Structure 1
């Protein structure tokens, strides 16, 4: 009986050797690929966490500098975070914060530069849209109306289209182009929901241009973008 088992075990061992000889290299390479991919994924996750952690420190620096009204520190910190951690959400948030702080401190050119970076390199469409809207506002203040309109002509996601239309209406109104201003304000009014407080302000602008909003119809659901 023992001899029979030994023979059977020998046959199984021979089969295993034959199998490994035929497929061993393939299995080895597959294991290398799988383990390598797993290690790379873990490394990527660690790198992203590390980047976010370091970026958050610089964002805090931008926030502190903005709170203290130190525009030099704001500019330096936002440059550092955008240069070193530009792919993170913190970089876009820092640019938006810096744009606001620098504009309030009478440094419109620096504010525009911070917002332009977010508009072009922001990690999310929403951040880019907010930057474009704010940048357009600064350009309007300097009477650069055509440049402001360019900022609002593309790269605006559906959820920001109504605000962009309102801003375009302001620009056309300042240029004396009343018909175009009315058309944009109507788009804004129709795009904003009934419960949006901002809709009331748009209604005031329309009334000033001779439009009775009670006669307007809300845009179809699919046409609000």
Structure 2
């Protein structure tokens, strides 16, 4: 009996050796790749967290400079932020903040450059949309109407389209296209929630053109 068991164990051992000789290298490579991939994933997550922490610290520095209205420092810190941590979400937020400070400081061209960077490179879609809206406003002030409209065409997110229509109306009105401006303002007024205070601003624009919008309930009553 013992002899038969020994023979069976020897056969199993021989089969295992044969299997390992045939597939051992492949198994070793697969295990190595899995472990390497796991280590790389952990390393990538650590690096991302480290980048976010450093970027946040730099954004805090930018905020302090903005509160102090230190325009040169705002420009410098934002330049460092976008160069070192341009792929982080706070870089886009920093660009919007820097542009506001630059505009307030009379630095329209640097502000436009900051917004251009955000519109093209920001990690967050909302930041890109806001940058396009603010660029349209700057270009409107500079009477670059066609460029302003191009940036408004880039605003496609539903949360921002009403504001884009309002700004489009401003640009069209500046071009002397009153009928088209009224159409854009009407679209903005209709899309915004009833309780939003800014709706009154758009209503004032329409009223000034003799196109005061009517509440939906009045429209229904008149139609009946």
TM-score greater than 0.5 by the shorter chain: yes
3-state SS of the aligned residue for 1:214? coil
SS at match of 2:139: helix
Structure 1 residue 197: Cα displacement: 2.7
Cα deviation, 1:142-198, whole Å, max 9, x if unaligned, reads: 222222222112253222111101001011122221111011111212222233332
In the TM superposition, what whole-angstrom CA distance separates every residue of 1:13-46 from its partner, at most 9, and x where no partner exists?
1221122122212211211221122122112112
Give the distance between the partners of 2:30 and 2:187, measured in 1 at CA.
57
Contact conserved, 2:132 with 2:152, CA < 8 A, in 1?
yes
Q: CA deviation at 1:109?
A: 1.5
Label 1:140 to 1:216 Cα distance change in 2 as closer, same or farther (>3 A): farther
Give yes or no for contact 2:51–2:88 (8 Å, CA) kept in 1.
yes
Deviation, 1:141, is 2.0
The reply to whether residue 179 of structure 1 matches residue 184 of structure 2 is no
In structure 2, the residue matched to 1:62 is: 62
Gaps of 5+ in 2: 218-224
Following superposition of structure 1 onto structure 2, how do residues 202-213 of structure 1 map, counting pairs within 5 Å? 202-213=202-213
What RMSD, in angstroms, separates the aligned Cα atoms of the two structures?
1.8
Structure 1, 20-29 or 96-105: larger mean CA deviation: 20-29
Mapped to 2, the partners of 1:86 and 1:179 lie a distance apart of 42
Deviation at 1:215, TM superposition (A): 6.5
Residue 81 (structure 2) aligns with: 81
Alpha-carbon shift at residue 4 of structure 1 (Å): 3.7
Once residues 158 and 70 of structure 1 are traced to their aligned partners in structure 2, the CA distance between those partners, rounded to angstroms, is: 35
Which deviates further from its counterpart, 60-69 or 17-26?
17-26
Q: Which deviates more, 1-10 or 120-129?
A: 1-10
What CA distance in whole angstroms lies between the structure 1 residues aligned with 2:110 and 2:35? 48
Verify: 1:103 aligned to 2:112, yes or no.
Answer: no
Normalised by the size of structure 2, how large is the TM-score? Answer: 0.89
- In structure 1, distance between residues paired with 2:156 and 2:86: 20
